Amino acid sequence: MNINIASMKDLEDLQEVMRSTFVETFGPDNKKEDVEKYIEEELNLEVIKKELITEQAQWFYIEEKGMMVGYLKVNWGDAQTEKLHEEAVEIQRIYVREAFQGRGLGKLLLHKAMEVAKMRKAPYLWLGVWEHNHRAIAFYKAQGFVKFQEHSFLLGEDKQIDHLMKKDM
């Protein structure tokens, strides 16, 4: 399975995989209106386009038979969503379509993020994960991430808590 660097030509495919994986991940446990509001405000083409051309961010995706099945977005410097450590690298987004989970694709994307962090000589790699996403939390713990903080995340009108987890590089 190859991991590709995303570019502007991948914009619409990225949007489609972002929207579908977001609904798969958060739809069953949240109000439909909150999920739809988030998608409309945060996963529209203009927002994604702006994020895609951010200099201190990089996007990757996994494709199978012409379909984008998973993606990763990493940030560093001022592009990080929290100002924790200028030199750190953040995994802002990492998702795999439900039908392709359990095949090690998430681990491949995570290892790509670790490569970026090592290349940038980051002191640590970090991410935020919803406190009720127990499967993801267990996955990150198994990969050596530890919780070090929490922050609020607004999903539509619902204020939620994310665990901030990091792995020293």
Tens of pLDDT along 7-53?
999 999 999 999 999 999 999 999 999 999 999 999 999 999 999 99
For the cut 90, the answer to whether the pLDDT of residue 118 exceeds it is: yes
In angstroms, the CA 125 to CA 164 distance is: 11
Quick check: 161 and 125 in contact, CB under 8 A? no
pLDDT confidence of residue 126: 98
- pLDDT per residue over 47-104, tens digit each? 999 999 999 999 999 999 889 999 999 999 999 999 889 999 999 999 999 999 999 9
The CATH number of residue 137's host domain is 3.40.630.30
Assigned token pair, 156: 């539509």
Active site residue 140: yes
Number of domains observed in the structure of the chain? 1
- The catalytically annotated residue of 38, 71, 95, 140 is 140
Q: Which of 73, 72, 169 is nearest to 120 (CA)?
A: 169
Q: Which domain holds residue 52?
A: 3-168
pLDDT confidence of residue 2: 85
pLDDT confidence of residue 137: 97
pLDDT confidence of residue 106: 95
- The position carrying tokens 């000589």 is 121
